[in-house]
Copies of this chain bind each other. A is one copy, B any other.
Amino acid sequence: MNVKEIMDTEFIAVSANMTIIEASIKMEAHKRFTTPVLDNRKRLIGWITSLDVTRGFRENHKIVSDIMHSKNDIVHVYENEPARIAVLAASKHKVVSIPVLDSEDKVVGEVRTFDIVETLSKLYEIKVYKIFEAVVNELKGVTWEELMEASAIITRRETGKPVTAKEYEQRIKKSTFGEAIWATGGLEKFFVGFIAIGELVIARKVAKARK
């Protein structure tokens, strides 16, 4: 997945000689805390935030160039870079939005942190039973009931608490991958439990085949 696929192409922009009054009206109308400053060929030359604007009003500045940060002082990414570059940049620099450039330094979009949250949380929101369904389809010769039975056995062994195959099935129909990771104590532990289930179910499949 590239930056291009997670960027928002509906962004606003201002020019360096626009008044800060005009810029503030535009930012408020579109509910943007930040906006790129572009030259007349749509290339990125700077960046302003609504906090630069409030300071500008207090200190009686008039135009965008009086308050803007130059291009060199801000984070930006290119549309064909891997999406994780934008994710890491947002996390490291703690910014709400990152301008996305094409190969000619023209601004073609913005990656906004809540878009990243949406993309990342989709992963978390996958229901665990979807993963188990994919596994049953892959493991020819293993039924859904056998997988649930093995899962209940491993879960009982690891938690020390009674759980039936039916109860386990109900649980994974409700819980998401994100919840499962948090519940098991991290991704590695989730995989360890998962492979333990896999080992049991495969061992049973092999034993059945030998009969």
Contact = CB atoms under 8 A, between A and B. Distances in A.
Interface string A38-64: 000000000001110111011000000
A51 to B, nearest CB: 5
B55 A24 contact: yes
In the complex, the 10 A-B pairs of residues with the closest C-beta atoms, listed nearest first: A50-B50, A120-B120, A113-B113, A24-B54, A57-B57, A134-B188, A91-B118, A33-B33, A1-B182, A202-B202
Interface stretch (A81-89, A100-108, A161-169): A81-89
B51 A33 contact: yes
A191 interface: yes
Given A120-B121, A123-B187, A126-B187, A139 B53 contact: no
A54 B34 CA distance: 13
Interface majority SS (helix, strand, loop, mixed), chain A: helix
Interface residues of A, number: 65
Number of copies: 2
A120 B187 CA distance: 12
B58 A21 contact: yes
A30 B88 CA distance: 22
Given A53-B54, A121-B120, A188-B130, A114 B96 contact: yes
Contact of A33 (B50, B118, B202): B50
A130 B145 CA distance: 31
Given A24-B58, A87-B124, A120-B124, 10 more contacts: A50-B50, A54-B54, A84-B176, A90-B117, A96-B113, A116-B117, A126-B188, A138-B195, A138-B196, A195-B198
A182 B6 CA distance: 13
A174 interface: no
Contact of A121 (B31, B91, B177, B189): B91
Interface string A126-153: 1000110111011100000000000000
